[in-house]
Amino acid sequence: MVAVHQQRRPLIELRHLHRYFGPTKAVYDMSFEVYAGEVFGYIGPNGAGKTTSMRILATLDEPTYGDALVDGFSVVDDPDRVRRRLGFMPDYFGTYQNMNVVEYLDFFARAYGLHSMQRRSAIDYAMEFTLLDQLADKPINGLSKGMKQRLSLGRTMIHDPAVLILDEPAAGLDPRARIELREMIGRLAENGKTVLISSHILTELAEMCHRVGIIERGHLLAVGTVEEISSRTQTRSEVRLRVLRDVEGLMNYLRQRDDVRDVAVRQGHVTMTHDGGPEEQAALLRQIVDSGFEVVEFASKAKSLEDVFMTVTAGLVQ
């Protein structure tokens, strides 16, 4: 996903954020920024500190040290202003007895101080955006998991916040519901909203996020696009090629090189791991051709978000 910074002013800022629970450092010296119109993926194992830092951004918890800002306002010094500019979707859906969809949204619109036509307009827009307008009178206890997640998103955006914090919004959804949720999040970013989203479904985050932040044991390990993080952490590439003839000769040639390892044949292709990036791979291809081998395919596997995550993290818990 191509980064689209409609303006360079950050809407989310974490400044040396710390949060301790006794001896446990749930968040330690966390600093990063997220910009308007950007979807930022927040990934890490369970217990890494994602929800703790998201709760601090949502003014549901306070930092031990440091600060977090939303649209320029401190969660410590200006929590009321932060709440007006932020919508928080937790990883669970809170229900109320004997409420239908429109009553549920109306309750939260009133809680945010929306009045009369402004409230009616906000409810109509939220139901239309989340495709719930045909279910206005349906009791929320009778909604499917996917519909409840849509309603939770509608509640989160009811007061038109500049920033949305979504904690595991795709958990438990079927494939269609996940695709529809991903499309909604993309539309929010296109409308200039800043979205910080955590998820364990890394393939989906890679598709919808402009940048990601990887956290483990309360420490922020890396921030950037998947390509940027991969280029900083990866020194070896997976390469696959195919030649017209003399596969054994090519394999012997490759095994004699110091920059190539793990040479094998899989499904008619010669595979290997190679030191270096695109420039070194181009040089490798040129040298193979100059050595007389007739190359008809040559490809380097791009690192996925899952690959990057496994490279950056160590599987530590606290």
306-316 pLDDT, tens digit each: 777 777 777 76
Structure token digits, residue 22: 């006794």
Stronger pLDDT, 139 or 301, i.e. the higher one? 139
Which of 148, 136, 82, 143 is CA-nearest to residue 106? Answer: 136
pLDDT of residue 275: 82
pLDDT of residue 80: 96
Residues 6+ apart with CB under 8 A from 30: 14, 16, 17, 18, 49, 53, 66, 215, 218, 219, 220
Contact 167, 199 (CB under 8 A): no
pLDDT in tens, 248-282: 999 999 999 999 989 999 988 999 988 877 888 89
Banded pLDDT at 318 (limits 50, 70, 90): low
pLDDT in tens, 93-110: 777 778 999 999 999 999
CA distance 285 to 297: 10
Percent of residues, the chain, with pLDDT higher than 90: 69
Which of 3.30.70.1060, 3.40.50.300, 3.50.50.60, 3.30.930.10 would CATH assign to domain 10-231?
3.40.50.300
pLDDT of residue 102: 96
pLDDT in tens, 17-70: 999 999 999 999 999 999 999 999 999 888 899 999 999 999 999 999 999 999
Mean pLDDT of the chain: 90
Confirm or reject CATH 3.30.70.100 for domain 236-302, answering yes or no: yes
Structure token digits, residue 182: 């991903």
pLDDT of residue 235: 56
Give residue limits of the domains in the chain: 10-231, 236-302
Banded pLDDT at 3 (limits 50, 70, 90): very low
Distances (CA, A) of 205 to 107, 176, 219, 232: 31, 16, 20, 20
pLDDT of residue 14: 97
Kindly state the average pLDDT of the residues 126-146.
93
